[in-house]
Amino acid sequence: MEETLFDELKRYVGWSEVDERALRALHASAAPHFPAVAEVFYATILGHEGAKRSLTGGESQVGHLKITLQRWLDTLLRGPWDEAYYQNRSRIGRYHVRIELPQHYMFGAMNVVRRELNAIVDDTYRTSPDALKTVREALGRILDLELAVMLHTFREDLVAQSARAERLATFGQLVGSIGHDLRNPLGVIETSLFILRGRVGADERVKKHLDRIGDQLGVANGIITNLLDMIRNRPLVKERVRLEQVVAGAVDAVMRPEAMRFRAEGLAGLEVEGDPGQLRQVFVNLLSNAVEAASPAGAVSIAASREDGRITVAVEDSGPGVDPAVARRLFEPLITTKERGIGLGLALVKRIVERHGGSVAYEPPAGGGARFLVHLPA
């Protein structure tokens, strides 16, 4: 079996079953101290202006973050240290890229954890020198592993983000140069179509073809609008937005086959600060994709929840799902799984959601289909 990156990192630091047993033995003694470690950790961050600015939710989020840190400490010492553990830790590195956290703060934060846990180890094993040495070495290895995983995913996502920015810059130059030139001939066709409609009389076959031309004009204009939206930084007109109204507007804008099952739940009473028009576009794009994937007689659902200062809206369909080979690139411009798509809808979703301080992710449901999760600050 091919060695995974996590296996390679474990081998590099000399990870063994002895370390696993040592950390699990430490867990029982250390767990009661986790709240105190979290207090010291965030007191240190709040005492440093540069590190304090990295808290995207400000001081009001510290209570939630303390709980998150305690969970992190729990799995740090309890395991299991498997691929699921690695994937969970990788998400932390990606989050650091998203909030533009300087790497030196990662080292500083890990040093605070190392210092506090070493103090617990010293106190717990002060009468057992051999056990003290074993546990200290195990703790050093797991914290080195943590840093290695975070730095690897930090670098991986930073490189990907830079490449995406370059592609968007090139894409913007191209779109900006051709958007206006395409709109002119489309405008002429639209004007001519209007004149022709008034002169065809009762010939139903001609009317049918004129309607087709009109439909395709709408498609072409929609593509140009999406292209231009990708390169514009339209200012957000923020207000208090009721998600139930925004999603209802998006649902009304998306045509669904009569045989399709649709369900929405959990939206009542949820509010965010945002631009209602742009948020509506997010859900129009996600619902359009879901309806197309689940047509003609599948199911589409929207479910919302609020937890720890953020709102999550899940848009799920019963369609064929997304090929794992393209899942990680779904939100890049010009990446599409549709035969007739050009890959702008999800890229625009990502752009709008991130401008609202949130994030969007694809998650394959256990029973098949596709699920997109939109996270927004409450």
| Structural domain count, the chain | 3
> Of 119, 146, 163, which one is at a domain's C-terminal end?
163
Residue 230 is encoded by which pair of tokens?
């990708």
Q: Are residues 54 and 130 in the same domain?
A: yes
Q: Are residues 150 and 168 in the same domain?
A: no
Q: Are residues 267 and 363 in the same domain?
A: yes
Reference 120, options 45, 47, 44, 25; nearest CA is 25
CATH number at residue 40: 1.10.490.10
Q: Are residues 301 and 330 in the same domain?
A: yes
pLDDT tens digits, one per residue of 325-345: 676 777 776 656 555 555 667
**β-sheet with 359-362: strand ranges across:** 261-265, 299-307, 310-317, 370-377, 359-362
pLDDT computed for residue 132 by the predictor? 93
Q: How far apart are CA 98 and CA 125, in angstroms?
A: 40
pLDDT tens digits, one per residue of 121-150: 999 999 999 999 999 999 999 998 888 887
- pTM, rounded to two decimals: 0.54
Q: Are residues 155 and 193 in the same domain?
A: no
Q: Which domain holds residue 371?
A: 239-377
Beta-sheet strands, E only, within the chain: 239-242, 261-265, 271-274, 299-307, 310-317, 359-362, 370-377
Q: How far apart are CA 269 and CA 375, in angstroms?
A: 16
Q: Are residues 186 and 74 in the same domain?
A: no
Encoded amino acid at 176, one letter? G
pLDDT at 244 over 70: yes
Q: Are residues 101 and 215 in the same domain?
A: no
Q: Are residues 302 and 265 in the same domain?
A: yes
Q: How far apart are CA 19 and CA 29, in angstroms?
A: 16
Please, which pLDDT band fits residue 27 given cuts at 50, 70 and 90?
very high
CATH number at residue 199: 1.10.287
Q: Which of the residue ranges 156-165, 203-212, 312-321, 338-347 has the most confident prediction, judged by mean pLDDT?
A: 312-321
Q: Scanning the structure block, which residue is given the tokens 């008034």?
A: 198
pLDDT tens digits, one per residue of 149-196: 877 776 666 666 666 666 666 666 666 666 667 778 888 888 888 888
pLDDT computed for residue 102 by the predictor? 65
pLDDT computed for residue 167 by the predictor? 65
26 neighbors 142 (Cβ within 8 angstroms): no
Q: How far apart are CA 329 and CA 343, in angstroms?
A: 10
315 neighbors 371 (Cβ within 8 angstroms): yes
Q: Are residues 277 and 141 in the same domain?
A: no
Q: Are residues 227 and 80 in the same domain?
A: no
Instruction: Tell me the average pLDDT of the chain.
Output: 82
Q: Are residues 226 and 272 in the same domain?
A: no
197 neighbors 210 (Cβ within 8 angstroms): yes
Q: Are residues 287 and 148 in the same domain?
A: no
> Of 163, 187, 202, which one is at a domain's C-terminal end?
163
Mean pLDDT of 221-246: 77
CATH number at residue 298: 3.30.565.10
> Of 163, 193, 216, which one is at a domain's C-terminal end?
163
